[in-house]
Amino acid sequence: MYRQILVPIDGSATSNAGLTEAIKIAKALGGKIRIVHIVNEMIVDYAFGSGLYANTVIDSMRADGQKILSEAEARVRGEGLEPEGVLIESIGGGAANFVIEQAKEWPADLIVMGTHGRRGVRRLALGSDAELVVRGVTAPVLLVHDRGGKG
């Protein structure tokens, strides 16, 4: 059934809620979890500052990304599972494209990801990585909301 579960994370409460659900499914079905974190270097404007500044920012982004990934891996290990972690560095392109690539390469039987559930103008302005993933893969996608007291 769901033997290979792909979980994109960004360190937010919402992506952590997705990881929680993925852990439950993997434990119940004896599945494997691959955790993916994407460091997008496109947000660094090299023209704004010196190359040294940009390199420092990118190094910091990598370190933060590795910390997010390591914490998620430790959490999965704490539940008795052995995760595989992947840190992807990108220059441009949306996170959804890299999640879709991972889902095809690995290949994932299920993708579990947190979603903010934006609607209306906010969704149009910010886009929806979750929607792009759903449209771009053949595997089932479980979208998880973090209610966090917002019901």
The answer to whether the bond into 140 is cis (omega within 30° of 0) is no
Question: At residue 31, what are phi and psi to the nearest 5 degrees?
Answer: -90, 170
Q: Report CA-CA distances (Å) from 124 to 33, 41, 86, 103.
A: 31, 23, 29, 25
User: What is the per-residue pLDDT for 58?
Assistant: 78
Q: Which domains does the chain have, with CATH numbers?
A: 4-144 (3.40.50.620)
Q: Is the sign of the CA dihedral 20, 75, 126, 129 positive or negative?
A: negative
Prediction pTM value: 0.84
User: What is the per-residue pLDDT for 124?
Assistant: 45
Q: Report H helices in 30-146.
A: 51-78, 95-105, 120-126, 129-136
The region of weakest confidence among 18-27, 56-65, 118-127 is 118-127
Higher-confidence residue: 60 or 91?
Answer: 60
As beta bridge partners, residue 40 has: 90
Mean pLDDT of 19-43: 91
User: What is the per-residue pLDDT for 111?
Assistant: 98
The region of weakest confidence among 26-35, 99-108, 111-120, 131-140 is 111-120
Euclidean distance between CA atoms 58 and 66, whole angstroms? 12
As beta bridge partners, residue 84 has: 34
Q: Quote the tokens at residue 108.
A: 């994932």
* Residue-wise pLDDT tens digits, 78-104: 999 999 999 998 877 788 999 999 999
Cβ neighbourhood burial of 83 (10 Å; 0-12, 13-18, 19+)? buried
* Amino acid type, 25: I
Confidence of residue 151 (pLDDT cuts 50, 70, 90): very low
User: What is the per-residue pLDDT for 86?
Assistant: 97
Give helix 51-78 / helix 13-29 axis angle, nearest 10°. 40
Mean pLDDT of 125-141: 83
